[in-house]
């Protein structure tokens, strides 16, 4: 779907450029933007490696496990329908902790594993459970303590204070998590989103 959107934007830009007689400007802007993208990507390599290295050291020092233990009581309240000893709790804790540290590469497989574990509790396969929807809202909000990717991007673009966004990022992502969880909890109470019970099998007499 995203490919169709980008293709549509390109077509619209070319058509409008042709209609206004500025097709050369459109072509030049496209080439300049492509060159700028390469320059930014190359500049990101060093800064990104530095921040990811720092975060990886923190992970190896046990910070991610410490965060996971800290958010465990919160998860039990947000997901009361999941048994405490179920593997899904551990997978979700590690996924959220990885996201908080900016370890997106580590968070992705942990998020997929959490969904697989949640699916084992699903009584209606093919229909997302309340826990799945709530976890997706939390994961999409992406609570972060260290926005390594954005800090690297700002630093490569020449920002004098690339770490100045840490406070606002924590505030914004925290607000997004609260909004997502509240929305999920409110919507799951509506009858329209209730999952009908499965029909029992067997032949009728």
Grouping H, G, I as helix, E, B as strand and the rest as coil, residue 142 is coil
Domain parsing of the chain, residue ranges: 57-193
Report how far residue 21's alpha carbon sits from residue 10's, in angstroms, rounded to the nearest whole number.
16
Tokens of 44: 């990101």
Q: Report the pLDDT value the prediction gives residue 47, as an integer from 0 to 100.
A: 62
One DSSP character per residue, 157-177 reads TT-S-GGGGHHHHHHHHHHHH
Q: Residues of 44-72 as b/e, b for ≥16 C-beta within 10 angstroms?
A: beebbeebbeebeebbeeebbeebbeebe
How many CB atoms lie under 10 A from the CB of residue 32?
Answer: 10
Q: How far is CA 202 from the centre of its chain?
A: 43
Per-residue confidence (pLDDT) for residue 190, from 0 to 100 = 83
The pLDDT, as a whole number, for residue 52 is 65
How many CB atoms are closer than 10 A to CB 82?
20
pLDDT at 85: 76
Query: What pLDDT sits at residue 202?
Result: 45
Which residue in 175, 182, 205, 188 sits closest to 131, CA to CA?
Answer: 188
> Cβ neighbours of residue 153 under 8 Å, at least 6 residues apart?
40, 44
- The confidence score (pLDDT) of residue 64 equals 67
Against a cut of 0.95, is the pTM above it? no
DSSP string computed for 85-140:
TSHHHHHHHHHHHHHHTT-HHHHHHHHHHHHHHHHTT-SSTTS--HHHHHHHHHHH
Low-confidence ranges of the chain (pLDDT < 70): 1, 40, 43-44, 46-48, 50-52, 54-55, 58-59, 64, 103-106, 194-205
> If you write DSSP's letter for every residue of 47-79 in order, what string do you get?
HHHHHHHHHHHHHHTTHHHHHHHHHHHHHHHH-
pLDDT of residue 157: 74
pLDDT in the model for residue 60: 77
Q: Residue 97: what pLDDT?
A: 79
- Token pair for residue 202? 């067997």
* DSSP per position, 21-56: T-HHHHHHHHHHHHHHHHHHHHHHHHHHHHHHHHHH
């Amino acid at each position: 779907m995203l490919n169709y959107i980008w293709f549509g934007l390109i077509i619209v830009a070319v058509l409008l450029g042709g209609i206004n007689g500025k097709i050369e400007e459109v072509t030049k802007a496209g080439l300049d933007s492509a060159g700028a993208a390469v320059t930014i990507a190359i500049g990101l390599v060093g800064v990104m490696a530095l921040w990811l290295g720092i975060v990886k050291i923190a992970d190896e020092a046990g910070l991610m496990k410490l965060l996971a233990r800290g958010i465990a009581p919160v998860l039990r309240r947000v997901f009361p329908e999941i048994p405490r000893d179920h593997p899904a709790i551990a997978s979700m804790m590690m996924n959220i902790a990885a996201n908080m540290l900016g370890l997106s590469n580590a968070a992705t497989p942990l998020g997929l594993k959490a969904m697989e574990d949640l699916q084992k509790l699903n009584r209606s396969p093919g229909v997302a459970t309340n826990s799945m929807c709530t976890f997706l809202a939390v994961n999409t909000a992406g609570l972060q303590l260290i926005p390594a990717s954005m800090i690297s991007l700002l630093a490569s673009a020449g920002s004098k204070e690339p770490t100045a966004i840490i406070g606002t990022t924590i505030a914004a992502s925290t607000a997004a998590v609260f909004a997502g969880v509240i929305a999920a909890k409110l919507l799951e109470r509506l009858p329209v989103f209730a999952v009908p019970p499965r029909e029992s099998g067997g032949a009728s007499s």
